[in-house]
Amino acid sequence: MSDAPRTSVPHLTITQDNEFWFTAAREGRLAIQRCSSCETLRHPPAPACPSCRSFEWDSVDSTRRCTLHSWTVIHHPKDDAFDYPLAVGLVDLEEGTRLVADISGVDHDDLRIGLELEVGFSEHAHGEVLPQLRPRSGGAA
């Protein structure tokens, strides 16, 4: 609060439940929390399994392959931390969980439900590393 921020994006709130996820992102891995009792995957990270209420968990690394489930293109309000218009997508990961992130490298007119994307990572406000949705590598450029 002492320095004058050019962005109103809040700093991440790191807890003992989500720290593994942000650490993995810094390493270029997309982690998904997995219940140790019933193996149900869940995201966002939470203390207990929504299926069996177990507090025991580990995590698996996603293939980062996903398909677009829904999206929006934001024009206002503008924040210095982003370029506008800003496309933000909700994707279905191959593993079955969902993720929200901004979309880069896709013409907004080409966005459609079921579009194959992959999760990459980029540095956001405050130097934080977060997922970013991109065209799948290995496919047509």
CB 64 within 8 A of CB 30: yes
Nearest distance from C-beta of residue 48 to Zn ion, angstroms? 8
Whole-angstrom distance, CA of residue 92 vs CA of residue 47: 22
Tell me the backbone φ, ψ of residue 127, rounded to 5 degrees: 75, 15
Q: Which is nearer to Zn ion, 58 or 80 (CB)?
A: 58
Token pair in block for residue 95: 């593993």
Strands 129-135 and 98-103: parallel
Between 37 and 104, name the residue whose CB sits nearer to Zn ion: 37
49 in contact with Zn ion (CB under 5 A): yes
Question: In the stretch 51-80, what mask flags binding to Zn ion with x, by CB under 5 A?
Answer: xx-x--------------------------
Binding string, residues 3-42; x marks residues near Zn ion by CB under 5 A? --------------------------------x-xx-x--
Could you give the CA distance from residue 129 to residue 12 in angstroms, rounded to a whole number? 10
> Which residues of this chain interact with Zn ion, rule CB under 5 A?
35, 37-38, 40, 49, 51-52, 54
